[in-house]
Amino acid sequence: MSADSDSTFLRNFALVIGLLVGVTILLLIVVNTFSGGDDAERQALAQERAERNLAPDYAVRLSGEPAPAVASGEAEAEAQGGVTEVRSGEQVTQAVCIACHQGNFQNAPGIGDQDGWGERIGKGWETLTTHVSEGYGNMPAQGGAATEEEIRAAIEYMIEDETGLEIPES
């Protein structure tokens, strides 16, 4: 190989390298122009999406704090100018109680679970209703999520209707 063709090769080689470096820099500039500048905004969006994806489909309150008033039939009624719409026991159960009373969450007796409820109903209506609205053991107070009337209807549905058991008056 002659010195001449060596230098030709080197020149072409340097040219190609230079071209590649140029293209790389150009691409970096293009990428930066289209995506740079709004990092904070993009991060906030990604964060929001991640939180939404990680959130469960239902909310469970374990801290004992009352349920948000938004879910309350009473609050809704107030917002609608005092027109009270009482939900049925089944509706309340589906909306509120099912989060724990389906699947034995923290030993919550299941809907229609004869054995589970059998040992509790002896407490009577009054005690059971109070326990639900004010909280009992592992169950946080439900008074914010349903009215007294609705809680009573839900107990009737979950226990009496679904197990055939009968709760004594007190």
Q: Footprint of ligand HEC on this chain (CB under 6 A)?
A: 60-61, 92, 96-97, 99-101, 105-108, 120, 123, 128, 131-132, 136-140, 142, 146, 151, 154-155, 158
Closest alpha carbon to 90 in 167, 136, 146? 146
Name the phi and psi angles at 126, rounded to 5: -60, -50
CA distance 120 to 78: 34
Residues recorded for the chain: 170
Residue 34: CB minimum distance to ligand HEC, A? 47
Give the residue at shortest CB distance from ligand HEC.
Answer: 137
| Minimum CB–partner distance for residue 51 and ligand HEC (Å) | 22
Nearer of residues 50 and 62 to ligand HEC, judged by Cβ = 62
CB of 130 to ligand HEC, least distance (A): 8
Nearer to ligand HEC, 8 or 106 (CB): 106
Q: Output the smallest distance, CB 92 to ligand HEC, in A.
A: 5
CB-nearer residue toward ligand HEC: 37 or 124:
124
Residue with smaller CB distance to ligand HEC, 47 or 107? 107
Which is closer to ligand HEC, CB of 146 or CB of 163?
Answer: 146
Phi, psi of 136 (to 5 degrees): -155, 125
Closest separation in Å from C-beta 76 to ligand HEC: 15
